[in-house]
């Protein structure tokens, strides 16, 4: 599978969009982010639409970026120059060219605001409450919006765990259902899971825009096994993770695809008693027939895929 397929969610989608930019534009965005980070512009905000957070308003961020661009004309000269040349060729007056140049500067500033979000330097406060934001890759600015730092990246050592802080070392991310390993009952909501290859830990969050995990389980020495969907629900594949102190069930059609990454992060595969028998049956009558007759996917197949 491609990285895009195994890392689902807005944080990863935005960063992929950022990486598609020319390297020069990426470096310019990172330089702007460093400038903002060192400018002490994030202040506590309280409001009816959002919880108290240290951030910067949309208007203040735009003014800050615009001021930065004026100090670094090389970031806008090529765009403004091309617009001026076009105006001259069409016979537009100098005053019109000035207006156009000003508008171009503003457009460049808004573009950099989008890139600051795409690069994962900034996020929109409480954006997990708005499902529509999860599908956006640009055009983030809105009146009254508050942008907050994600505290992600190498310069944020010691920052709290969030989806953003796990992006760099994530090997798998996506939505699955989280079930109780004892009662086999499934909770009312899906959870967003991120598998961190560096920490060898599986985290789960309320959404793909969460700034704090709902829980985590360390995989070093943990046991992982596949189990039939009849244990939890008749439509979803089930993966069980067990440690000395914790036990967790992952349920969903994509759950089987998590087995190999979990093993790569330190978990030990625990083959069920039925799997050797089913593996032999699979070779004889074929996997589709086994699925129809037994009602669940053979876990060993996931290991060999």
Provide the pLDDT for residue 120.
Answer: 95
Burial letters for 167-177: b for 16+ Cβ neighbours within 10 Å, e otherwise?
beebbbbbbbb
Using CA atoms, how far residue 230 sits from 131, 227, 272, 294, in Å, is 32, 8, 15, 10
Provide the pLDDT for residue 85.
Answer: 47
The residue-averaged pLDDT of 7-12 equals 96
pLDDT of 142 strictly over 60: yes
pLDDT of 251 strictly over 60: yes
Residue 300 CA to residue 260 CA, distance in Å, equals: 11
The residue-averaged pLDDT of 238-251 equals 90
Provide the pLDDT for residue 80.
Answer: 54
Using CA atoms, how far residue 279 sits from 91, 128, 230, 269, 296, in Å, is 78, 43, 19, 16, 13
Q: Tens of pLDDT along 22-31?
A: 999 999 999 9
pLDDT-wise least confident of 129-138, 221-230, 249-258, 292-301: 292-301
pLDDT of 127 strictly over 90: no
Residue 135 CA to residue 220 CA, distance in Å, equals: 34
Nearest to 249 by CA among 260, 234, 237, 257: 237
Q: Tens of pLDDT along 41-53?
A: 998 876 544 455 7
Stated pTM of the model: 0.79
Residue 136 CA to residue 133 CA, distance in Å, equals: 5
Provide the pLDDT for residue 182.
Answer: 54
The residue-averaged pLDDT of 198-202 equals 96
Give the mean pLDDT of the chain. Answer: 79
Residue 149 CA to residue 249 CA, distance in Å, equals: 33
Walk me through the domains of the chain, giving residue ranges and CATH numbers.
3-87+94-149 (no CATH), 163-269 (2.30.29.30)
Q: Please spell the DSSP secondary structure of 40-87, one letter per residue.
A: T--EEE--SSS-SEEEEEHHHHHHHHHHHHHH-GGGTHHHHHHHHHHH
Give the end-to-end CA distance of the chain in Å, rounded to a whole number. Answer: 11
Q: Tens of pLDDT along 275-290?
A: 544 454 445 555 443 3
pLDDT-wise least confident of 226-240, 256-270, 291-305: 291-305
Residues in CB range of 217: below 8 A, 6 or more apart: 201, 202, 241, 243, 246, 248
pLDDT of 301 strictly over 50: no
Provide the pLDDT for residue 43.
Answer: 87
Provide the pLDDT for residue 304.
Answer: 41
């Amino acid at each position: 599978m491609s990285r895009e397929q195994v890392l689902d969610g807005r944080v990863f989608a935005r960063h992929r969009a950022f990486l598609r930019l020319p390297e020069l534009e990426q470096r310019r965005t990172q330089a702007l982010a460093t400038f903002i980070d060192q400018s002490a512009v994030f202040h506590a905000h309280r409001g009816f639409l959002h919880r108290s957070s240290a951030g910067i308003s949309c208007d203040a961020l735009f003014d800050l970026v615009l001021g930065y661009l004026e100090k670094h004309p090389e970031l806008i000269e090529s765009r403004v120059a091309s617009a001026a040349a076009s105006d001259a060729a069409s016979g537009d007056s100098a005053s019109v060219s000035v207006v156009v140049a000003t508008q171009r500067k503003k457009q460049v500033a808004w573009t950099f605001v989008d890139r600051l979000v795409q690069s994962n330097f900034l996020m929109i406060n409480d954006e997990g409450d708005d499902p529509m934001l999860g599908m956006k890759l640009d055009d983030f600015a809105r009146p009254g919006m508050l942008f907050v730092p994600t505290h992600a990246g190498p310069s944020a050592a010691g920052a709290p765990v969030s989806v953003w802080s796990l992006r760099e070392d994530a090997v798998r991310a996506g939505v699955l259902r989280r079930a109780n390993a004892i009662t086999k009952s499934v909770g009312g909501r899906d959870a967003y899971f991120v598998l961190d290859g560096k920490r060898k830990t599986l985290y789960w969050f309320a959404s793909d825009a969460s700034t704090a995990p709902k829980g985590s389980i360390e995989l070093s020495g943990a046991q992982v096994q596949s189990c039939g969907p009849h244990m939890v629900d008749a439509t979803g594949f089930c993966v069980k993770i067990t440690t000395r102190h914790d036990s967790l069930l992952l349920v969903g059609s994509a759950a089987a695809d998590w087995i190999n990454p979990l093993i790569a992060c330190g978990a030990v595969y625990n083959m069920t008693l039925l799997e050797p028998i089913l593996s032999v049956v699979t070779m004889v009558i074929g996997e589709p027939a086994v699925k129809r007759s037994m009602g669940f996917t053979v876990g060993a197949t996931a290991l060999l895929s």
